[in-house]
Amino acid sequence: MQENRNSFTERLRLLQENKISQTLTGICHGIERESLRIDPKGGLAQTPHQKKLGAALTHDFITTDFSESLLEFITPPETSIDKTIGQLTDVHKFVMANIDDERLWPMSMPCFIENQDAIPIANFGSSNVGKMKSLYRVGLKNRYGSMMQAISGVHFNFSLPDEFWHSWLAEFGQQSDKESVSSAYFALIRNYRRFCWLIPYLYGSSPALCGSFIKGKETNLPFKKLGKGTYYLPYATSLRMSDLGYTNSAQSGLNICYNQVDSYIESLRKAINQPSTNYAKFTAKKEGEYQQLNGNILQIENELYSPIRPKQPTQSLEKPTDALADRGVSYIEVRALDVNPFNAVGIERNQFYFLDVFLLYCVVKPSAFFESDLYQETESNLSAVVDHGRDPELKLNHEGNAIALSEWALNIFAEMSEIAKVLDQVNHCADYSQALAVEKAKILDPNLTPSAKILEILLANNMDNGQFGLQLADKYKQQLLDADYAYMDEQELIAHARQSLQKQLLIEQQDTQSFDEFLQSYFSKS
């Protein structure tokens, strides 16, 4: 007969058992960091993606996101934090050496942009799959505007090893098959959503933005102005995650279900197959060109804005929901991280250690299914923290009860400290507990948060966000150019670029369908 496994104390005891704890050295990470290319004056670069960087369609480490000017750097999954940071730094160094006098914008909210038509949509070549990727972005522009798509973030990919799931799930009388592992990842996801207001509080780095971003927009946010054209909220942590930015209030009624992988897939597929009255106006071709992939609520699964996603690597032209249905959850993608402007590559080592503790805590903490009201509670808590998370009067909702952010956070940190001790022990270090101490200090003193530090610099110097960003961009360009390659050298990255160009050319040569036929075929499958 199984013991009661429904208390944090008992589940923590299981984690501490040697056969389970020893598997935690196999935790894997990968990073996806976005960054705008800017000219030497701090404006958005209008140049196309440099050929020396390779083909954005097929390069493993360097691609573009929404815009030709919005680079994305990708690292493969690794168990070593140092190796991931080293690889990310190597790729940044290579890019810096191959974009002439341009720099990388070191902040999440965009630099000065004259208007949305000054944001060139990413070009992935003449193949059907390349044209589909570009058309998807045309649809995003028509639906939401290009300004929102010019925002940058950092995605933190996290997975636990198969050995962990085998030992952990056995304690609950389960096999480590795709259904059980997926169910456990979804339990993590639900807890993440319960507690993810901590992420923008600790790491939110976008309390201010350039006035060009909100030009012509209606907003109820009580902005204050500084410098020539910077707008800020005194207690904001992450305007990137506000309704102005990364999140999208138009999707608030989708009711995506995070209780089980099957219900998640079903609710997401419903959204990508349900026609939208709002987007029907973009369905017809304009001057012979498509305006979006389709007129449904979501064009494709990736259009869903969420602070976390369950992931399974996809095969060529495979839909994410099909990959999840076929092979289950392989890892999770944390999407609530602002670019860290105090680091040349947008994320620092301490964040890895903390996020490992936090995400493992989300696994160990009992995680009940969401009822509708409790799910909405998570949404309102996140919204409150991104807009005014450092307000000393702020109260969050915890299962229907009001609670001070600091009180709730300290309760979570007390439990996380036990998780950190386990990770320290198996990794023969003190890094995890030390990381927790650094973040706990921000709970006790909000002035230590990056959002507070940024505002302090801007206000003390009556400095615009753009001026601050350009100073950092100049500093980081030189810093990265002066750095030594650690894991990937210049010749290796040149070879990657050449291979990616060859791969793109091969894809283009192998196309046999018209683009119309290609789209019809893609959307007719499951």
Reported for 440-445, long-range contacts at CB under 8 A and 24+ positions apart, including other chains, are 440/410, 440/413, 442/201, 442/202, 443/201, 443/405, 443/406, 443/409, 443/410, 443/413, 444/406
Mean pLDDT score, 62-71: 98
Q: CATH: 1.20.210.10, 3.40.50.720, 3.30.590.20, 1.10.1580.10. Which one for 8-497?
A: 3.30.590.20
What residues have CB less than 8 Å from 340, skipping those under 6 apart?
A: 154, 203, 205, 346, 347, 348, 351, 450
pLDDT above 80 for 525: no
What secondary structure letter does DSSP report for 448?
Answer: G
What phi and psi values does residue 38 have, to the nearest 5 degrees? -125, 155
The mean pLDDT value for 451-458 works out to 98
3-state SS, residue 398? strand
Cβ(103)–Cβ(37) under 8 Å?
Answer: yes
Distance between CA atoms of residues 63 and 60, nearest Å: 8
What pLDDT band is residue 373 in, cutting at 50, 70 and 90?
A: confident
Over range 430-455, report the average pLDDT.
Answer: 98
pLDDT in tens, 137-151: 999 999 999 999 999
Mean pLDDT computed over 205-226: 92
Summarize the confidence of residues 315-324 as an average pLDDT: 94
| 508 neighbors 126 (Cβ within 8 angstroms) | yes
The 10s digit of each residue's pLDDT in 171-211 is 999 999 999 999 999 999 999 999 999 999 999 999 999 99
Please write the tens of the pLDDT for every residue from 107-139. 999 999 999 999 999 999 999 999 999 999 999
- How big is the chain, counted in residues? 526
Q: Using the 8-state DSSP alphabet, how is residue 151 labeled?
A: -
pLDDT at residue 402 in the model = 97
Q: How confident is the model at residue 224 (pLDDT cuts 50, 70, 90)?
A: very high
Q: Are 267 and 298 in contact (CB under 8 A)?
A: no
Q: Of all residues in the chain, what percent carry a pLDDT higher than 70?
A: 97
- Number of C-beta neighbours around residue 315 at 10 A: 10
More confident residue, 270 or 525: 270
Dist. CA 314–CA 307, nearest whole Å: 20
Q: What is the pLDDT of residues 255-270, one digit of tens each?
A: 789 999 999 999 999 9
Widest CA span of the chain, in angstroms? 69
Model confidence at 2, pLDDT cuts 50, 70, 90, reads very low
How far out from the chain centre does Cα 406 lie? 25
Instruction: Give the chain's mean pLDDT.
Output: 95
φ, ψ dihedrals at 111, nearest 5°: -70, -175
pLDDT, residue 256, reads: 87
Using CA of residue 139, residue 142, residue 144, residue 146, what is the dihedral sign?
A: positive
Tokens of 356: 């490992």
CA separation (Å) from 356 to 97, 253, 409? 32, 31, 17
**Tens digit of pLDDT for each residue in 157-175?**
999 999 999 999 999 999 9
Q: Which helix (H) or strand (E) holds 490?
A: helix 490-510
Is residue 1 pLDDT above 50, yes or no?
Answer: no
The mean pLDDT of 503-513, rounded to a whole number, is: 97
Q: What is the DSSP letter of 317?
A: T
The phi, psi pair for 189, rounded to 5°, reads -60, -40
Report the DSSP beta bridge partners of residue 156: 31, 334
- Inter-CA distances, 81 with 31, 154, 200, 270, Å: 10, 16, 22, 38
SS3 for 479? Answer: helix
279: exposed, middle or buried (Cβ count in 10 Å: 0-12, 13-18, 19+): buried
If you average pLDDT over residues 320-339, what whole number do you get? Answer: 97
| Structural tokens at position 44 | 């958005």
DSSP state of 4: P
Q: Mean pLDDT check: name the lowest of 30-34, 250-254, 467-471.
A: 250-254
Confidence of residue 283 (pLDDT cuts 50, 70, 90): confident
Q: What single-letter amino acid sits at 44?
A: L
- pLDDT tier, 245 (very low <50, low <70, confident <90, very high otherwise): low
Q: CA 256: distance to chain centroid? A: 18
Taking residues 65-71, what's their average pLDDT?
98
